[in-house]
Amino acid sequence: MILTKTIKSYAKINLYLNVGAKRPDGYHDLESVMQQVSLFDYVTVLRDTDTTQRGVRITCTDRLVPSDDRNIAAKCAMAFLDKYNIYSEVSVSIDKRIPVAAGLGGGSTDGAAVLSIMNSIFDVNAPMDELCALGAKLGADIPFCLVGGTCTASGIGEILTPVKTPVLPYHILICNAGHGVSTPEAYRKLDETAKEEPACAMDDVLRAVESGEMPETLYNSFERVILPEHAEAAQIRQTMLVCGADVALMSGSGPSVFGLFRNEDARDKAKDFFDMKGILAMPCEPVVKNIK
């Protein structure tokens, strides 16, 4: 018998990302406010209940993404089979819509989707913290993608705290001019430059999202090393503001840039403008989770 399930795997943006010094173990302390957004890939996992061979097959619609055991989703599938001692063949297929190596957590969200689907179609019903611990070994943002909504991340990103928010008062536009950024490379560049004073404190951004207000300022440490080398991304950031975004920022290690617009019409007009310039512009909304 074949069991199959498809879910949407949502991208993330960082409303705040302050990266500290490199620690002796090579990781970086950081503090971040992460927001899940309605831009998504489709992830399907198919379980063949007739085999007792352990194996993972993977296909992806994007040629930039490896369709073998280097794929984060394939790693997650294999780790799940190992952890729960399951002998079965699974096929994972990814319909890729989230730009790759773009600071939007595309690989992590596919990995999180695979863990979540397998937890259900193999009837394992592992608790969230167990899935997060498994995912954290394979992709930095997998725990956040499993929890979703709005979260703060601290420590080396592993301390995740869900943030209760009302409906958020903004519409999002994410732009990507291509030219992926390697996250390890971005960290290396940060280590080579002097630390700067963040433009605001994480608590300022947090207070705004908790009370359903537009944050006055956002901050991302990676902007200072990535934007000077990615003139198009820097230009997009400026243009977002000219087009009526209340605030704009690069997401994660870049080079995607997002704008938050109070006015949906202004967001849609900004999308038309970027379309006209031939720049990929993806309108989306914050994903809000009802947490108790």
Segment interacting with ligand ATP, rule: CB under 6 A, options 31-39, 58-66, 210-218, 242-250? 58-66
Contacts to ligand ATP from residues 182-211, by CB under 6 A: 183
Rule CB under 6 A: choose which of 66, 198, 244, 283 binds ligand ATP.
66
| Interaction of residue 107 with ligand ATP, rule CB under 6 A | yes
Decide: is 223 part of the binding site for ligand ATP (CB under 6 A): no
Q: How far is the CB of 276 from ligand ATP (least distance, A)?
A: 26
Q: Measured from the CB atom, is 70 or 207 closer to ligand ATP? A: 70
Of the candidates 130, 25, 30, the residue with the CA atom closest to the CA atom of residue 80: 130
d(CA 92, CA 99) in angstroms, rounded, equals 19
Per CB under 6 A, 65 contacts ligand ATP: yes
Q: Which amino acid is at 57?
A: R
| Pairing mode, strands 257-261 and 247-250 | antiparallel
Question: Helices marked H in the chain — which ranges?
Answer: 72-83, 106-121, 128-136, 142-147, 183-191, 202-210, 223-226, 231-242, 264-276
Shortest distance, position 14 Cβ to ligand ATP, whole Å: 8
Q: Which residues are 9's β-sheet partners?
A: 41
Burial class from Cβ neighbours inside 10 Å (0-12, 13-18, 19+) for residue 225 reads buried
Active-site annotation holds for 141: yes
- By the rule CB under 6 A, 221 interacts with ligand ATP: no
Point out which span in 71-79, 124-132, 189-197, 278-286 binds ligand ATP (CB under 6 A).
71-79
Select the residue whose beta carbon is closest to ligand ATP and give its number: 107
Strand order in the sheet with 171-176: 247-250, 257-261, 171-176, 280-284
Q: Draw the binding track, 230-269, toward ligand ATP (x: CB under 6 A; -: no contact).
A: ----------------------xx----------------
Does position 7 interact with ligand ATP (CB under 6 A)? The reply is no
Angle 128-136/72-83 helices, nearest 10 degrees? 120
- Binding status of residue 71 toward ligand ATP by CB under 6 A: yes
**Angle subtended by helix axes 106-121 and 72-83, to nearest 10:** 30
Q: C-beta of 166: minimal distance to ligand ATP in Å?
A: 26
- 3-class state of residue 112 by DSSP: helix
3-state secondary structure of 266: helix
User: Are the CB atoms for 111 and 139 separated by under 8 Å?
Assistant: yes
Residue bearing tokens 């993977």? 58
Q: At which residue do the structure tokens 């207000």 appear?
A: 213
Listed ranges 76-84, 100-108, 119-127, 214-222: which one lies at the site for ligand ATP (CB under 6 A): 100-108
* Of the candidate residues 39, 79, 81, 94, the single one contacting ligand ATP (CB under 6 A): 94
Q: Does 282 bind ligand ATP (CB under 6 A)?
A: no
Under the binding rule (CB under 6 A), the answer on residue 108 touching ligand ATP is yes
Is residue 280 close enough to count as binding ligand ATP by CB under 6 A?
no
State how far Cα 122 lies from the chain centre: 26
**Which residues lie near ligand ATP (CB under 6 A)?**
64-66, 71-73, 94, 100-108, 110, 140-141, 183, 252-253
Catalytic residue annotation = 12, 141
